Amino acid sequence: MSWQATILTLFPEMFPGPLGHSLAGRALRDGVWGLEAIDIRGFATDRHRSVDDTPCGGGAGMVLRPDVVDAAIGAALAAGPARPALVMTPRGVPLSQTRVRALAEGPGAILLCGRFEGIDQRVIEARGLEEISIGDYVLSGGEPAAMVLLDACIRLLPGVMGAAASAEEESFSQGLLEYPHYTRPTEWQGRAVPPVLLSGHHAEIARWRRAEAERITRERRPDLWAKLHPDAAGAGAMDGRPAAA
C-alpha cells in the first residue's frame, strides 16, 4: 500500500501542482504515493453551496463552517486507511523535520486547508485535528502549506531520493544545519574550493563538514544549537566556540 495523501480544499485543482514535477511527480506516477484532493464545497448543503459564514463576535472576513468541514473530513476518513488528520494553520505547532519523518514513516496524512479567516474551532477540536504551521507568516490559504508538508514527507519515502545517505546528512537530521557544498570548477571568480574537500582524505573531510555544520548552526540558529548543548546555552555556545560534547 502506497503512502496516501488526502487534501480537503476549496481549490482541488491546485493539486498536485508543483508536486506533479521532479522527484515527487515521478514518485506519484510510479505509485509510491497517492493523492486525492476533495472539494470541501461538495459537502455544502444549501442551494448556494455555502461553505463559510460571518465570524461570531464580529470582525472582518469569513469562517469555514464546522458542519461542512466535518462532512468533508468524514468522507476523507471513510475513503482511505486510518491516517493522522492535520489542519494547516499559522496558530499550529511549527512543522519540524522530526514530525515530517514520523509522518513519512506512517500510512499517509489527511490535510485540511483553511481559507478566509480560518476554520470554526469546534470542528478542529471535535475531530482532534493536529494543528500545524509552516512558519511565522500568513498565507492566503492552506494549500501551499499542505504542499510544503507533502513535499517534505514524499522525498523521504523509500526509493524517492537517489542516495539514501543524503537524507541522513542534510539539515536538521542531526539537529544541525548542513555544511556548505562545492562542485567544479575548483577555482571560480578567484574563489577556491576548500582544499580539504579535494584531498581525498575521507576522515578529514567528515571532520571539516561536521565543524562547518556546527559553526553555521551556532551562528545562524542559536535556538537549535542550544537544544544540542543545553548546558552551554548562554555561555560558550554563543561566543563562536564549540561547546564541550
Ligand X SMILES: C[S@@+](CC[C@H](N)C(=O)[O-])C[C@H]1O[C@@H](n2cnc3c(N)ncnc32)[C@H](O)[C@@H]1O
Residue ranges of the binding site: 114, 134-139
What part of residues 144-203 is at the interface with ligand X (CB under 6 A)? Answer: 145
- Pick one of 138, 164, 203, 244: the residue that binds ligand X (CB under 6 A): 138
Backbone angles phi, psi at 227, to 5 degrees: -65, -35
Scanning 66-74, 107-115, 165-173, 196-204 for contacts with ligand X by CB under 6 A, the matching segment is 107-115
- Pick one of 88, 129, 213, 243: the residue that binds ligand X (CB under 6 A): 88
The residue at minimum Cβ distance from ligand X is 114
Residue nearer to ligand X on the CB measure, 90 or 225: 90
Task: Based on the shown chain and the rule CB under 6 A, indicate whether residue 108 belongs to the binding site for ligand X.
Answer: no
Residue nearer to ligand X on the CB measure, 89 or 217: 89
Residue nearer to ligand X on the CB measure, 141 or 175: 141
Scanning 15-23, 41-49, 121-129, 135-143 for contacts with ligand X by CB under 6 A, the matching segment is 135-143
- Pick one of 42, 81, 135, 159: the residue that binds ligand X (CB under 6 A): 135
Task: Based on the shown chain and the rule CB under 6 A, indicate whether residue 9 belongs to the binding site for ligand X.
Answer: no
The site for ligand X (CB under 6 A) is made up of 88-91, 113-115, 117-119, 133-135, 137-142, 145
